């Protein structure tokens, strides 16, 4: 099969096309013929070596057809999406024509959306849904601040929170991106200079919950931006992996404020976080109806993955990017 492998840890150019033996599914696995896969910042972190030693073939999600299921639960030819389960991290991932995935991380889908549209949803929507409904226990009518909202994950969170009936404040560093976030349903767009808490206090805005995709570099500010006894959930590291220097819960964590982290790469598909808890079929139905604006921002052919990684790292995607295979 054709595949892309990490020839050495580094920039996008280390992704090298090669031929590998077709994988064979073991018990408890499903073999998928990949039709399309989404691009994720996690794959750039793995490719660069920031997450230590990882599998040779990157890719943490895909959409495709079942090629084989030793359990017999999924028929050959069934349309499925697969998310995580160690793909790209502890086992070869989806940047290939074929991939084996733990059955717990494979979901049959009934949508007839094109492959590119199917591949734009799984990772970011499963993560956003789990963090919003689980970690933050977001309720209709509450005010949610999505920090890093122009990212694919941020846009998914805005989409889902608006449909859930929340009042959404979205952030971006570039005022030119405000119309995009307004189109997704954000009630207000704030320009993020790293000091949002003061601006929120100045405007006398009450924020019930914060979904923070930016991460450690603004964590103190996010904690200060939420109301007393509010909730903050960190789901990304767009601002970099450097730890929060000298973090002191006594000084930095306001009394009553709940801080949590959702690491989808490590937990989605486990018994504690089953994919059956994520209503993917409902999400796809809302995409088809135009209720959720989840179609890919850009689509690349398989032989342009290196360029796609360059676009992703430069922050020029403005949404989910997808790669399709012939």
Query: Is residue 287 situated within a structural domain?
Result: no
CA distance 324 to 87: 18
**Dihedral of CA 233/186/276/101: which sign?**
negative
Judge whether residue 315 has pLDDT over 90.
no
Nearest to 56 by CA among 9, 111, 101: 9
CA distance 49 to 244: 21
Are 109 and 146 in the same domain?
no
Query: Is residue 10 situated within a structural domain?
Result: yes
Query: Is residue 94 situated within a structural domain?
Result: yes
pTM: 0.96
Are 247 and 143 in the same domain?
yes
Query: Which residue segment(s) compose the domain that 105 sits in?
Result: 2-120+295-324
227 pLDDT band, cuts 50/70/90, is very high
CA distance 233 to 106: 26
> Residue 151, CB half-sphere, CA atoms under 13 Å: how many?
28
Query: Is residue 288 situated within a structural domain?
Result: no
Query: Is residue 275 situated within a structural domain?
Result: no
Between vectors from CA 66 to CA 65 and to CA 70, what angle results, nearest 5°? 175
What confidence tens digit (pLDDT) does each residue in 147-173 have? 999 999 999 999 999 999 999 999 999
What CATH number does the domain containing 56 carry?
A: 3.90.180.10
Share of the chain above pLDDT 70, in %: 100
Query: Is residue 63 situated within a structural domain?
Result: yes
What is residue 291's predicted lDDT score, i.e. its pLDDT? 94
Q: How far is CA 236 from CA 38, 67, 233, 258, in A?
A: 17, 33, 9, 17
Strands 98-102 and 29-38, how do they pair?
antiparallel
Are 99 and 177 in the same domain?
no
Are 130 and 260 in the same domain?
yes
Domain count, the chain: 2
Query: Is residue 246 situated within a structural domain?
Result: yes
Are 242 and 308 in the same domain?
no
């Amino acid at each position: 099969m054709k595949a892309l492998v990490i020839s050495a840890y580094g920039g996008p150019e280390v992704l090298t096309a090669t031929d590998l033996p077709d994988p064979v599914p073991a018990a408890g696995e499903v073999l998928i013929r990949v039709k399309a896969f989404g691009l994720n910042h996690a794959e750039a972190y793995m490719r660069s070596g920031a997450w230590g030693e990882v599998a040779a073939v990157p890719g943490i999600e895909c959409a495709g057809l079942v090629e084989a299921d030793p359990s017999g639960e999924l028929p050959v030819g069934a349309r499925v999406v697969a998310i995580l389960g160690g793909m790209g991290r502890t086992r070869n991932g989806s940047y290939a024509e074929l991939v084996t995935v733990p059955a717990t991380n494979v979901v049959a889908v009934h949508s007839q959306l094109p492959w590119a549209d199917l591949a734009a949803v799984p990772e970011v929507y499963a993560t956003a849904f789990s963090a919003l409904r689980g970690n933050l226990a977001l309720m209709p009518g509450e005010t949610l601040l999505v920090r890093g909202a122009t990212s694919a994950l941020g846009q998914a969170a805005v989409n889902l929170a608006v449909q859930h009936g929340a009042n959404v404040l979205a952030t971006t560093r570039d005022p030119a991106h405000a119309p995009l976030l307004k189109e997704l349903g954000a009630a207000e767009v704030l320009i993020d200079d790293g000091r949002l808490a003061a601006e929120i206090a100045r405007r006398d805005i009450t924020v019930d919950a914060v979904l923070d995709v930016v991460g450690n570099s603004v964590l103190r500010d996010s904690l200060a931006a939420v109301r007393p006894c509010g909730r903050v959930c960190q789901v990304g590291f767009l601002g970099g992996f450097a730890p929060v220097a000298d973090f002191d819960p006594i000084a930095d964590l306001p009394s009553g404020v709940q801080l949590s982290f959702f690491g989808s790469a490590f937990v989605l598909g486990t018994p504690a976080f089953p994919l059956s808890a994520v209503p993917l079929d409902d999400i796809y139905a809302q995409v088809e109806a135009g209720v959720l604006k989840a179609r890919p921002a850009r689509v690349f052919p398989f032989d342009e993955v290196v360029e796609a990684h360059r676009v992703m790292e430069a922050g020029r995607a403005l949404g989910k990017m997808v790669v399709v295979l012939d």
